[in-house]
Structure 1
Amino acid sequence: MQLVCRKCAAAFQHKERTQNLTILRSEFGAVKQSKSEPFLFDATSAASSNVMACVSLMITSICIIHRLFFLCKPILKGHPMIKFHRILLLILGAVFLASTTGIARYAADSCTQSRMYRQLAALTENFPGDAASPGNDFLPQYQALYAQNSDLAGWIQIDGTNINYPVMQSKQNPDFYLKHNFEKANSPHGCPYVQASCDLQTPSDNILVYGHNMKDGTMFSDLLQYKRESFWEQHRIIQFDTLTAQAEYTVMAVFRGEAEDLFAYYQCTDAETPQEFVAYVDACKNAALYDTGVTAAYGDKLLTLSTCDDSGKNSRMVVVAKRITEPR
């Protein structure tokens, strides 16, 4: 009887949770490939995996075909199939070379991007004492980077992870850094960037930052580790600086799911009313994978990090954090 009661209670809680989430979805709307949200599925990473699978399949196919024709060569001597065998091997060989070239390019780009971002991180740690410019009030550690690219909006870091990157913002071309790196060169890795509708100086109630989930473990790949509550317990704090101030955030909610099933979290940047802000916080908490014990009230400032999730073609992994220190 006790077991049945527990099951009933669990079922009731699940039903109530689902109903609450449905109500919140209706308030914010469902994600329907809106222009407000970039399509973050990491096609390049997925393509790399597919290419490697194809290469493996082709190697196996070449070996099998070659072995079969070798065994049948005495029987097929002078037969047109011998010529077909040679042509087929040439075609498969050409495809194999093209595929391995693609993988090599991806690997080379991965190394190049990692080296570049390490160098940028070093610039923020080792900057000259007179780096402050009389022309602006930017933090001295970001003066050199801003001089290189004026789209620089800030810096994000999570200790104990690979996340340690400049954050960009281009209001003229909102998704430019989806496929371009800090130097504005084409790159499948891109660079973390802020949604164009967010104001970093006021700032907005909710700052949304997007980044790729790369197979090489760079960009926002480590956000997927927040699926585990034990990881959150060890990595609760996110450091996010704007050009003018440093601040720390504590993770409030972690959720994931198919884009069409999630509420439109990307639409809430500035709440028009306290009720709208509370509704957004409730939506995040109801969709959360686990309870962090952290909540937010109207007037608090939020940071939402979004990347693609490996579990589906159009899945999202979202980490929402609340600012816990005053900008300094």
Structure 2
Amino acid sequence: MTEDEINEMLAGMKTTETAETETATEEQSEVIPVKFEELQAVNPDVYAWITVPGTDIDYPILQHASDNSYYLMHNIDGSYGYPGCIYTENMNSKDFTDNNTVIYGHNMKNGSMFAQLHKFEDPDFFDANREVVIYLPGEVLHYTIFAAHIYDDRHLLYSFDFTDPEVYQKYLDSIFSTRDMSANIDKDITVTTDDQIITLVTCIGSQPNNRLLVQAVLTDREAGAETARAAAATE
């Protein structure tokens, strides 16, 4: 499939409904506007969906069981080549309970995949756009962006044991104490070793040995219902 064909297919896998819907127990579940069953029929490695309001980032997240670089150069239909997929590595769990879940995507010249993370290098854009939403089958996770900065290309999960509170704290301290004037860091947000963060990673065209990191802390985790099931519960 071409990139345009893939994008057209993905557009059909997500609805625009976002309103909350009453469940049979009269509790409110946030609507999950993603057709996970249909996505997983295309590729069972799909396990989540990421949306970054203020950008065009609106994609499934995949994870290959054994080849951590597979989706760097494979598309959702298994074809080889760009743009690849938004993906995590198998060192991270698929339930986003790790202290740091690292999510990768290409910096495509046409602005697709994670290219628009570079918008967060603009201080005004950073101040105005601070949300990341991740959908799982049955859950909706809300994150608040607290950092956008350039980092070297070391592999974060190999370099830091985020399960060690001392290591995790030192890593967080290094972010909030950076003297990099180009970094956008919200020091009014408190992130502790009890928090779970996500790190969105993409390349920098002019700096092959560096990466742009956009980091966000989990602020809310809610039960959710996929659109069709949520609608059925109200009938």
Q: TM-score, normalised by structure 2?
A: 0.78
Q: What amino acid maps onto 1:307 in structure 2?
A: T
The answer (yes or no) to whether the contact 2:160–2:168 under 8 Å persists in 1 is: no
More strand by percentage: 2
The answer (yes or no) to whether the contact 1:152–1:167 under 8 Å persists in 2 is: yes
Distance in 2 (CA, whole Å) between partners of 1:234 and 1:126 is 22
Residues 43-82 of structure 1: matches in 2 within 5 Å?
Answer: none
More helix by percentage: 1
2:6 to 116, 120, 142: 116
1:247 aligns with 2:138: no
1:231 matched to which residue of 2? 125
Task: Give a deviation string over 1:83-138, Cα, whole Å, max 9, x none.
Answer: xxxxxxxxxxxxxxxxxxxxxxxxxx8xx3144224313322179xxxxxxxxxxx
Task: Give a deviation string over 1:22-71, Cα, whole Å, max 9, x none.
Answer: xxxxxxxxxxxxxxxxxxxxxxxxxxxxxxxxxxxxxxxxxxxxxxxxxx
User: What are the ranges of 5 or more consecutive residues in structure 2 without an aligned counterpart?
Assistant: 18-31, 224-235
1:316 aligns with 2:207: no
Distance in 2 (CA, whole Å) between partners of 1:266 and 1:319 is 16
Residues 1-328 of structure 1: matches in 2 within 5 Å?
Answer: 112-125=2-15, 141-201=35-95, 203-259=97-153, 265-267=156-158, 271-287=162-178, 289-292=183-186, 293-328=188-223
Distance in 2 (CA, whole Å) between partners of 1:116 and 1:154 is 17
Distance in 2 (CA, whole Å) between partners of 1:170 and 1:236 is 29
The answer (yes or no) to whether the contact 1:121–1:165 under 8 Å persists in 2 is: no
Q: What amino acid maps onto 2:91 in structure 1?
A: S
2:233 matched to which residue of 1? none
Deviation >3 Å, runs of 4+: 264-270
Task: Give a deviation string over 1:225-245, Cα, whole Å, max 9, x none.
Answer: 111111112210011123342
Query: Which structure exhibits the higher relative contact order, with contacts defined as CA atoms closer than 8 Å and separated by 6 or more residues?
Result: 2
The answer (yes or no) to whether the contact 1:258–1:312 under 8 Å persists in 2 is: no
Aligned-pair CA distance for 1:189: 0.7
Q: What amino acid maps onto 1:151 in structure 2?
A: D
Q: TM-score, normalised by structure 1?
A: 0.57
SS at match of 1:181: coil
The answer (yes or no) to whether the contact 1:124–1:141 under 8 Å persists in 2 is: yes
Asked which structure has the greater CA Rg, the reply is: 1
